[in-house]
C-alpha cells in the first residue's frame, strides 16, 4: 500500500527477481481488476445458453493451480479496492483458500501461490478484507518510514521518558537533514538494480 510512484511495483518485481536468482523460478501475473467488470474478472454463466465464460482471474488462478511444479506463483491485483470485486476474494484470503465461482467450481489457492494487492489506500476496504491480509506500507519521499522505525526503536529502549524524549529530539533535528545531504552528495557503492 502506498501512493503512486512510491515503489510498490518495484518492490514485488525485485522480490520475484531475488527469488528467481535463488533458484525458485517465480511466476508473476499482473491484473488490474478495475479495468474489467466483475463478470469479466470472475466469469459469468450466459443466461440464454447456460454456457460458462471464464473470467480473467478465474482463468489465471486455475491455470496456475494446475501447473505441476511448486515454484512460487504470485497474482498481483494492481488497482484500488472496490467492494464489487474484493468481497469475492475474502474466501480466497481466509483459511479455506478457495475461489468459488458462479458455476459452483472451486479453485484452490495452493500453498506456493500468493495474492498481492497493490493499492493506494484502505479507504474502501472492509474489516473482513483487512483482517485477512498482511499490509506493507511503502511511503513516498515524505520520509515516514525512517521516522516510524526510529519511534519504534526509541519506544523499545529501557530508558526513562526524559531520555527517550531527548533521543527523539536529536533524531528530529539531525537525521532528516543528514539523509538529504547523503542523497544529494554521496555516490552509492552498491549498484541500483535495473528493473
pLDDT, tens digit, for every residue of 24-80? 899 999 999 888 888 899 999 888 888 889 999 999 999 999 998 999 999 999 988
Q: What is the pLDDT of residue 144?
A: 65
Dihedral-angle region of residue 21 (phi above 0 means left; psi in -120 to 50 means alpha; beta otherwise): alpha
- What pLDDT does residue 194 have? 45
pTM for this one?
0.69
Q: Is the dihedral of CA 102, 84, 3, 168 positive or negative?
A: negative
Residue predicted with more confidence, 83 or 77: 77
Percentage of the chain exceeding pLDDT 70: 93
How does residue 114 score in pLDDT terms, banded at 50, 70 and 90? Answer: very high
Could you state, in order of their start, the residue ranges of all structural domains in the chain? Answer: 8-131, 144-185
Question: Whole-number mean pLDDT of the chain?
Answer: 86
Q: Each residue of 5-44: b (16+ CB within 10 Å) or e?
A: ebebbebbbeebeeeeeeeeebbbbebebeebebeebbbb
Residue in the block written with cell 484502505: 122
161: pLDDT strictly greater than 50: yes
pLDDT at 145: 67
Architecture of the domain whose range is 8-131: 3-Layer(aba) Sandwich (3.40)
What is the grid cell recorded at 42? 470472475
Average pLDDT over residues 117-146: 80
Average pLDDT over residues 166-182: 89
Amino acid at each position: 500500500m502506498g501512493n503512486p510512484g512510491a515503489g510498490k511495483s518495484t518492490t514485488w518485481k525485485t522480490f520475484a527477481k531475488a527469488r528467481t536468482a535463488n533458484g525458485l523460478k517465480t511466476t508473476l501475473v499482473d491484473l488490474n481488476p478495475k479495468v474489467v467488470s466483475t463478470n469479466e474478472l470472475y466469469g459469468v454463466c450466459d443466461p440464454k445458453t447456460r454456457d460458462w465464460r471464464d473470467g480473467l482471474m478465474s482463468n489465471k488462478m486455475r491455470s496456475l493451480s494446475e501447473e505441476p511444479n511448486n515454484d512460487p506463483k504470485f497474482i498481483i491485483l494492481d488497482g484500488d479496492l472496490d467492494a464489487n470485486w474484493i468481497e469475492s476474494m475474502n474466501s480466497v484470503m481466509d483459511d479455506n483458500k478457495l475461489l468459488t465461482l458462479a458455476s459452483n467450481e472451486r479453485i484452490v489457492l495452493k500453498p506456493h501461490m500468493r495474492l498481492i494487492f497493490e493499492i493506494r489506500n484502505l479507504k474502501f476496504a472492509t474489516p473482513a478484507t483487512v483482517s485477512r491480509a498482511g499490509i506493507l506500507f511503502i511511503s513516498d519521499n515524505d520520509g515516514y518510514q525512517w521516522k516510524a522505525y526510529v519511534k519504534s526503536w526509541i519506544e523499545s529502549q529501557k530508558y526513562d521518558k526524559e531520555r527517550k524524549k531527548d533521543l527523539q529530539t536529536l533524531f528530529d533535528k539531525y537525521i532528516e537533514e543528514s539523509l538529504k545531504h547523503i542523497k544529494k552528495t554521496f555516490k552509492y557503492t552498491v549498484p541500483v538494480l535495473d528493473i
